[in-house]
């Protein structure tokens, strides 16, 4: 047994984040930890990495009791952590990031640049990575950054590697690459703790799985003796269907039409390079793509949050490009933003204050004075309908779990019954039970004849919900399909820019005329 965490208990106020949690990880295995948001996985891993001190319980590495008081100790013990949000410095090179804090140095204590480069090359070669030591991290793809994070952990001598939801940001192809890497690491004798929300990944890759719920480990199983449905049920505490009830596709008139939309980012680099599409009432249009291919800008331009440099946007035939965010909201356009913590919520505002963000102008909620009663009632309604777990309505949303924060945003935006909902990564970092719920809400909106633009890096989500799928690559739509004619492989290849020309005649600039079978 490489790692044993015994009876770990951690209480935050009245909340038991970890309740006598036991985790045993064998040398050389890939061990999955699954559980809903707020089940206690994070706390447990923070304890392991020395970021949180447990109230009671012991940790043993190779049968010897250890006291992990800070991440430095964890590193010395050979524990490495790849965080979901990368801890890299974009302005520095790959090599500099790799050795940061443990730089090789010359005789006079100077930074040994060559040594760092050599270390990078050696590690990359051992892992079979294509990565140039002198590239700037800022120019790397998400997948490459993650590979660099793994290299960083190995450079620090990790034997036990914790990967925190590593696939959340990857394309299917990149995920495949990551899995290859993980297998390779295991073959070279490393042990991996793998945190994920995706049960298919647990099934594909891991040897054993620990399931957490409400701060406890509710089961530890050999992966090959359990089905995904059983896992989901253990996590959520009820059977999870995973299937969204969708009415047959009956598209209405065009709600949103986007023509030749172009935009640049803050540095003037083109991010949208002529985007065309149209979206009808009662339709879910899924925009697939690796993050950073213009989806963010597309969503922000449509909501009036980012300027366009050219193009037109028609909302039910009326040109709306250039209108303010408030004007667009008043056209009954709702928006679930991808960046929930910075865009979608005011973390230090209370739940009820957040429940009316964007709606504060409505006479129902304010007439100069805030109508606090109405605001609270509205918040109560959202909490109830969307099963947001919160001790009270006045709590700062900062202290809600990520899943509940996301549910609050989804509730607020869906509950407006908008004629167009722009949903960007609506279920990122949300547990299976809540994913199912949010998906069902989107489907219901569609059944009521609303139009939904779904932007997601999660292909399963795109495939499961959309009526029409468009793939975005480098600021263009490079392919558009009817959902039943799309498959993961084709989409994945398009997302990587393969099978796409770069001339003006590529798929991206081809408009799909109304009435044509899509």
Partner 1 sequence: MKEKGGKGTFLILEILSPAVAFLLALAMGAVLILSLAENPLHVYNVMFRGGLGSIDGLGYVFFSATPLILTGLAVAFAFRAGLFNIGGEGQLYMGAFFCAWIGFTFPSMPSTLMVPLCILFAALGGAIWGLVPGVLKARFGVHEVINTIMLNFVAMLTTNFLVNHVYKEPGQMIPQTKEIATTAWIPRMAPLLQRLHIQLPTSNPLNYSLLLALMIAALAWLLLFKTRLGYEIRAVGLSHKAAEYGGIKVGATMVLSMVISGSMAGLVGVNEVLGYRHRFLDGFSTGLGFTGIAVALLGRNHPLGVVLAAVLFGILNTGALEVDIFTDIPRELVMVLQAVIIICVVVGDQVFRRWVSRRLPLQPHAGFFH
Between CA 506 and CA 504 the distance in angstroms is 6
45 binds partner 1 (CB under 8 A): yes
Report the residue number, 126 or 395, with the smaller CB distance to partner 1: 395
389 to 418, contacts with partner 1 by CB under 8 A? Answer: 391-392, 394-396, 398-399, 401-403
Please identify, among the stretches 77-85, 175-183, 255-263, 455-463, the one whose residues bind partner 1 according to the rule CB under 8 A: 77-85
Q: Give me the helices (H) in 396-458, please.
A: 402-414, 432-447
350, 395 contact by CB (below 8 A)? yes
Sort 125 into a burial class: Cβ within 10 Å, 0-12 / 13-18 / 19+: exposed
The torsion of the CA quartet 335, 338, 342, 344, rounded to 10 degrees, works out to 30
Report the residue number, 377 or 506, with the smaller CB distance to partner 1: 377
Q: Is the dihedral of CA 300, 305, 309, 313 positive or negative?
A: positive
Report the residue number, 206 or 303, with the smaller CB distance to partner 1: 303
Report the residue number, 249 or 349, with the smaller CB distance to partner 1: 349
Report the residue number, 273 or 362, with the smaller CB distance to partner 1: 362
**Angstrom distances, CA of residue 487 to CA of 54, 221, 452, 459, 497:** 46, 32, 21, 9, 16
Q: How many CA atoms, within 13 angstroms, populate the side-chain half-sphere of residue 201?
A: 27
427 binds partner 1 (CB under 8 A): no
DSSP class of 475: T
Between CA 359 and CA 304 the distance in angstroms is 16
**Contact flags string 444-483 toward partner 1, x per CB under 8 A:** ----------------------------------------
In whole angstroms, how close is the CB of 330 to partner 1 at the nearest point?
A: 8
In whole angstroms, how close is the CB of 385 to partner 1 at the nearest point?
A: 21
320 binds partner 1 (CB under 8 A): no
338 to 397, contacts with partner 1 by CB under 8 A? Answer: 339, 341-349, 353, 357-358, 360-361, 365-366, 368-370, 372, 391-392, 394-396
Size of the site for partner 1 (CB under 8 A): 56
Nearest Cα to Cα of residue 327 among 344, 351, 302, 352:
302
In whole angstroms, how close is the CB of 399 to partner 1 at the nearest point?
A: 5
Q: Residue numbers of the site for partner 1 (CB under 8 A)?
A: 12-15, 17, 37, 41-42, 45-46, 51, 83-85, 164, 195, 303, 305, 324-326, 329, 335, 337, 339, 341-349, 353, 357-358, 360-361, 365-366, 368-370, 372, 391-392, 394-396, 398-399, 401-403, 429
């Amino acid at each position: 047994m490489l790692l044993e965490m015994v009876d770990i208990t951690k209480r935050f106020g009245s909340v038991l984040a970890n309740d006598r949690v036991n985790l045993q990880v064998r040398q050389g295995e890939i061990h999955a930890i699954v559980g809903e948001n707020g089940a206690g996985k994070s706390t447990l891993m923070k304890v392991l990495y020395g970021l949180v001190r447990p109230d009671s319980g012991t940790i043993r590495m190779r049968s010897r009791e250890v006291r992990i008081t800070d991440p430095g100790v964890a590193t010395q013990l050979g524990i490495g952590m790849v965080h979901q949000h990368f801890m890299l410095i974009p302005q520095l090179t790959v090599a500099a990031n790799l050795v940061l804090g443990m730089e090789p140095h010359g005789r006079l204590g100077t930074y040994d640049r060559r040594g760092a480069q050599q270390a990078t090359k050696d590690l990359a070669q051992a892992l079979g990575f294509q990565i140039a030591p002198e590239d700037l991290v800022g120019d790397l793809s998400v997948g490459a950054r993650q590979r660099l994070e793994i290299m960083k952990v190995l450079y620090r001598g990790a034997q036990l590697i914790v990967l925190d939801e590593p696939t959340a940001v990857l394309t299917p192809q990149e995920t495949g690459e990551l899995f290859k890497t993980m297998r390779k690491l295991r073959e070279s004798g490393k042990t991996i703790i793998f945190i994920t929300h995706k049960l298919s990944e647990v099934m594909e890759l891991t040897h054993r799985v620990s399931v957490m719920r409400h701060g406890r480990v509710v089961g530890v199983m050999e992966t090959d003796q359990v089905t995904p449905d059983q896992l989901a049920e253990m996590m959520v505490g009820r059977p999870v269907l995973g299937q969204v009830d969708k009415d047959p596709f009956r598209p209405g008139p065009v709600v949103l039409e986007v023509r030749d939309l172009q935009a640049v980012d803050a540095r003037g680099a083109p991010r949208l390079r002529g985007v065309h599409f149209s979206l009808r009432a009662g339709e879910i249009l899924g925009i697939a793509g690796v993050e950073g291919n213009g989806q963010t800008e597309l969503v922000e331009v449509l909501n009036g949050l980012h300027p366009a440099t050219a193009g037109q946007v028609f909302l039910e035939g009326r040109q709306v490009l250039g209108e303010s965010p408030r004007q667009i909201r008043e056209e009954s356009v709702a928006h679930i933003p991808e960046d929930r913590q910075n865009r979608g919520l005011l973390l230090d505002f209370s739940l009820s204050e957040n429940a009316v963000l964007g709606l504060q102008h409505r006479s129902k909620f304010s007439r100069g004075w805030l109508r606090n009663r109405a605001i609270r009632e509205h918040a109560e309604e959202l909490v109830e309908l969307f099963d947001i777990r919160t001790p009270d309505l006045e709590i700062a949303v900062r202290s809600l779990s990520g899943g509940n924060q996301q549910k609050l945003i989804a509730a607020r935006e869906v509950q407006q019954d908008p004629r167009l909902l722009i949903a960007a990564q609506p279920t990122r970092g949300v547990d299976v039970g809540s994913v199912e719920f949010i998906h069902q809400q989107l489907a219901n909106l569609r059944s009521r004849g609303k139009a939904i633009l779904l932007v997601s890096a999660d292909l399963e989500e795109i495939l499961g919900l959309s009526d029409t799928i468009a793939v975005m690559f480098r600021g263009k739509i490079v392919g558009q399909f009817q959902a039943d004619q799309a498959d993961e492989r084709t989409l994945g290849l398009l997302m990587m820019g393969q099978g796409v020309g770069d001339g003006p005649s590529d798929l991206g600039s081809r408009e799909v005329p109304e009435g044509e079978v899509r």
